[in-house]
């Protein structure tokens, strides 16, 4: 390793590790919710690395209600005195009223703040305490479901889609959608579901009724069939299920698959099917379907499972 490479390694830090995000509920909050980012590559580049500082810490603090930010940065040594402050890069993604000192931030937080818009729904727990959306108490799912119910009643909304969802949100949406369609009776049509006698007409009509995107409904249907169909007991049903899933996988990946030989294509579809089935089982294990035709998610909203949805 050259001296330049040694120098670069010595003065390099991982931006995910030095950035801390904190949420404060009040001016005297001594125990804020603090966490690190899952990724920072949109800000600090694909390498997620900051060069030129020793013992670097970047603290990004928010008022929990107004989301008013405070950005603080410190280090023990700086390789080049006039090198760019790490705060400057992050400030490009923060609002103009971002505070740079705690005193300034605390003064701004004293100013009256009213959440814009109209209150649609609030959430309280059984002790009467208000839910905090960042504390893993199920509010994310309730918030998503509240929005879906609004959209379902709105005749101007044809389809409910989510742009560029995270892996954790994908999981949450899967659980919520499975729950809702179980509660409204979609998965309890015993003849269709148990035998996997699913027609394209039924799929399209049910998807439109629930205002779901094609891919999201197909995924939820495949999970529901895996849960409720007689796949383990009836080889014919199991074959119908495999063909249904593999047909969708083929159509979704037609171009690269068509470049393979017949045997390679068959192996690739089987491999993808098994990976997808394993992921479906993971999601289903976090949803409890009770005997009263209601389903309650028992999973935490955060998911450390990083896998691209197929």
Query: 16: how many CB neighbours lie within 10 A of its CB?
Result: 15
| Phi then psi dihedrals of residue 96, to 5 deg | -65, -30
Tokens of 74: 């410190």
Q: Output the 3-class SS for 27-78.
A: CCCCCCEEECCCCCHHHHCCCCEEECEECCEEEEEEECCCCCEEEEEECCEE
DSSP-derived pairing of the beta strands 19-24 and 57-63:
parallel
Tokens of 72: 């603080």
Can you give the pLDDT at residue 294? 43
Place of tokens 């309280």: 124
76-83: Cβ within 8 A, 24+ apart: 77/53, 78/52, 78/53, 78/54, 79/11, 79/51, 79/52, 79/53, 80/52, 83/52
Can you give the pLDDT at residue 137? 56
Residue 51 CA: distances (Å) to CA of 18, 40, 84, 148: 12, 15, 10, 44
To which H or E segment does residue 264 belong? helix 262-284
Can you give the pLDDT at residue 122? 66
Q: What is the CATH number of domain 3-109?
A: 3.90.360.10
In the predicted model, residues of the chain with pLDDT beneath 70 are: 1-5, 7-8, 27, 121-137, 190, 290-310
| Phi then psi dihedrals of residue 88, to 5 deg | -60, -40
In the chain, at which residue ranges do the beta strands (DSSP E only) sit? 12-14, 19-24, 33-35, 49-51, 53-54, 57-63, 69-74, 77-78, 287-289, 295-297
HSE value, Cβ hemisphere, 13 Å, CA-based, for 236: 3
Can you give the pLDDT at residue 68? 94
Q: Are 286 and 297 in contact (CB under 8 A)?
A: yes
HSE value, Cβ hemisphere, 13 Å, CA-based, for 271: 7
Q: Are 212 and 177 in contact (CB under 8 A)?
A: yes
List, for residues 9-40, the tens digit of each pLDDT value: 788 999 999 999 999 987 677 889 999 999 99
The CATH 3.90.360.10 domain(s) of the chain lie at 3-109
Distance CA 174, CA 216 (A): 8
List, for residues 32-89, the tens digit of each pLDDT value: 999 999 999 999 999 999 988 999 999 999 998 899 999 999 999 888 877 778 889 9
């Amino acid at each position: 390793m050259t001296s330049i490479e040694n120098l670069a390694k010595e003065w390099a830090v991982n931006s995910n590790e030095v950035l801390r995000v904190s949420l404060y509920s009040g001016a005297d909050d001594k125990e804020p919710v603090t966490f690190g980012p899952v990724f920072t590559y949109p800000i600090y580049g694909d390498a997620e690395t900051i060069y030129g500082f020793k013992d670097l810490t970047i603290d990004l603090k928010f008022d929990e209600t107004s989301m008013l930010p405070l950005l603080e940065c410190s280090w023990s040594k700086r390789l080049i005195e006039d090198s760019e402050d790490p705060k400057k890069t992050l400030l490009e993604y923060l609002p103009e009223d971002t505070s740079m000192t705690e005193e300034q931030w605390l003064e701004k937080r004293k100013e009256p703040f009213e959440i814009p818009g109209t209150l649609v729904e609030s959430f309280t727990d059984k002790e009467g305490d208000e839910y905090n959306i960042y504390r893993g108490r199920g509010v994310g799912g309730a918030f998503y479901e509240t929005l879906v119910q609004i959209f379902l009643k709105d005749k101007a909304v044809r389809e409910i889609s989510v742009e560029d969802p995270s892996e954790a949100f994908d999981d949450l949406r899967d659980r919520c959608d499975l729950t809702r369609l179980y509660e409204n009776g979609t998965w309890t049509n015993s003849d269709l579901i148990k035998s996997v006698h699913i027609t394209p007409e039924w799929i399209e009509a049910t998807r439109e009724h629930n205002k779901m995107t094609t891919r999201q409904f197909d995924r939820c249907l495949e999970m529901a069939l895996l849960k409720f169909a007689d796949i383990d007991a009836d080889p014919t049903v199991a074959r119908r299920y495999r063909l249904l899933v593999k047909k969708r996988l083929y159509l979704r990946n037609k171009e690269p698959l068509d470049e393979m030989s017949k045997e390679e294509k068959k192996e690739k579809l089987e491999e993808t099917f098994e990976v997808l089935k394993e992921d479906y089982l993971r999601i289903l294990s976090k949803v409890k379907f009770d005997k009263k035709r209601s389903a309650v998610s028992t999973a935490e909203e955060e998911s450390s499972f990083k896998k691209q949805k197929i």
